[in-house]
Amino acid sequence: MPSIYPTQETLQTNFSQRQPFPAWSAVDDVKQSYGKLSTKAQAKTGKIEMFSPKYYAACTFGGLLACGLTHTAVTPLDLVKCRRQVDPTLYKGNLEAWKLIYRAEGIRGVFTGWGPTFFGYSAQGAFKYGGYEFFKSFYSDLVGPEKAAQWKTSVYLAASASAEFFADIALCPFEAVKVRTQTTMPPFATGTFDGINKITAKEGRAGLFKGLYPLWGRQIPYTMMKFASFETIVEMIYGYLPGKKQDYSKSQQTAVAFTGGYLAGILCAIVSHPADVMVSKLNASRQPGEAFGAAMSRIYKDIGFGGLWNGLAVRIVMIGTLTGLQWMMYASLKT
């Protein structure tokens, strides 16, 4: 004869949820169902679920391509910029510089330093963009959704600074080879790994990282400005447009990303330029065993405050173009 009292199994099934009120259970059920439907819909449309392993992998790969390819493409600009920072009297102007380099060394000479540029900025881009998305999610979860929305610019700044800290460690050895290759004539090394071997043979592994502090000084403010200003500028652009972001096609969203990136790049160039000059000077002229502070002081005495701004105009063009193209490529690869 069946019992009129509920069994233990029935009680566990009906009262296993911890919420004190049935309404909360219903909300959770709806959320779970919506999450499953959302995941299925994303799988059908080919879109990547936000903050999933695939999302972070796409961001990392997108950053690798965006930074590696764009920095390599503007190697001729970077070459002249570095040489003029180290020796302002070397060329009268950028066009004269490219003409002289091309006559003496051909097209290969114009792209001097492309190897360490490609390897270094590919590694940096992977850590920068992948790390930014990771730390943005991490800090947002840390402070909670309400405060993350309230302090979103602070979250952008903290995430970008954290990502760049690690990205520069990956970049630094290649940056040391690049600057030396571009500022010695003829170049001191035949290629990227030949340059690494020559530096380590003479100065040890520390020689590859002697520019790390000024690199942090250049890149961390640069990246904080790059991400925070980009996010803000893009929000402002969509605020002026009649529709919402999702109302526009992928190509239209990519155009907005390029515009926001170019404007952010101009700000980045101005903020980080004095440190960029110091990176070039330190990698080119810092003596083995010379203290970082002593080297900085010596260089500043030689060039003065005005010397910290050598090459700013060409760098604004270079960084604006770079940042615009990077955000354009990154946005198209991530979505």
Model pLDDT, residue 245: 87
What one-letter code names the amino acid at 327? W
Residue 1 located in a structural domain: no
The count of residues in the chain is 335
Model pLDDT, residue 19: 42
> Smallest Cα–Cα separation from 254: which of 186, 334, 316, 190?
334
Report yes or no: 253 and 292 within 8 Å, Cβ to Cβ: no
Tokens (6 digits) for 159: 């995430």
Residue 280 located in a structural domain: yes
Residue 306 located in a structural domain: yes
- Highest-confidence segment of 207-216, 278-287, 288-297: 207-216
pLDDT tens-digit map of 156-191: 999 999 999 999 999 999 999 998 999 888 888 889
Pick the more confident residue, 26 or 242. Answer: 242
The average pLDDT across 226-245 equals 90
pLDDT tens-digit map of 3-23: 554 555 554 554 444 444 333
Model pLDDT, residue 167: 97
Over 80: is that where the pLDDT of 111 sits?
Answer: yes
Confidence class for position 30, pLDDT limits 50, 70, 90: very low
The average pLDDT across 84-107 equals 87
Model pLDDT, residue 129: 92
Helix (H) or strand (E) holding 82, with range, is helix 75-86
Over 70: is that where the pLDDT of 64 sits?
Answer: yes
Confidence class for position 288, pLDDT limits 50, 70, 90: confident
Model pLDDT, residue 10: 53
Over 50: is that where the pLDDT of 47 sits?
Answer: yes
- Residue 92: helix, strand or coil by DSSP? coil
Task: Give the pTM.
Answer: 0.73
Model pLDDT, residue 69: 93
Residue 3 located in a structural domain: no
Tally of CB atoms within 10 A around 142: 12
Distances (CA, A) of 179 to 48, 84, 114, 320: 38, 12, 11, 21
- Residues with Cβ within 8 Å of 113's Cβ and at least 6 positions away in sequence, in order, are 75, 78, 79, 82, 178, 179, 181, 182, 187
Tokens (6 digits) for 28: 């959770």
Q: State percent of the chain over pLDDT 90.
A: 44
For residues 131 and 20, what is the distance between their CA atoms, to the nearest angstrom?
Answer: 39
> Smallest Cα–Cα separation from 125: which of 184, 179, 174?
174
Over 70: is that where the pLDDT of 301 sits?
Answer: yes
Model pLDDT, residue 313: 86
pLDDT tens-digit map of 136-149: 999 999 999 899 98
Model pLDDT, residue 26: 34
Residue 207 located in a structural domain: yes
For residues 27 and 287, what is the distance between their CA atoms, to the nearest angstrom?
Answer: 66
| Secondary structure E strands in 105-262 | none
The average pLDDT across 104-115 equals 93
Residue 29 located in a structural domain: no
- Residues with Cβ within 8 Å of 250's Cβ and at least 6 positions away in sequence, in order, are 332, 335
Report yes or no: 126 and 66 within 8 Å, Cβ to Cβ: no
Model pLDDT, residue 134: 95
> Can you give the three-state secondary structure of 231-258, one letter per residue?
HHHHHHHHHHCCCCHHHCCHHHHHHHHH
Mean pLDDT of all residues belonging to the chain: 83
Helix (H) or strand (E) holding 304, with range, is helix 292-307
Model pLDDT, residue 116: 96
What is the number of domains present in the chain? 1
CATH code for position 73: 1.50.40.10
Q: Give just the sign of the alpha carbon dihedral 210, 211, 217, 221.
A: negative
Domain limits for position 289:
50-334
Residue 114 located in a structural domain: yes
Residue 2 located in a structural domain: no
Cis check: omega of the bond before 288, within 30 degrees of 0: no
For residues 16 and 27, what is the distance between their CA atoms, to the nearest angstrom?
Answer: 15
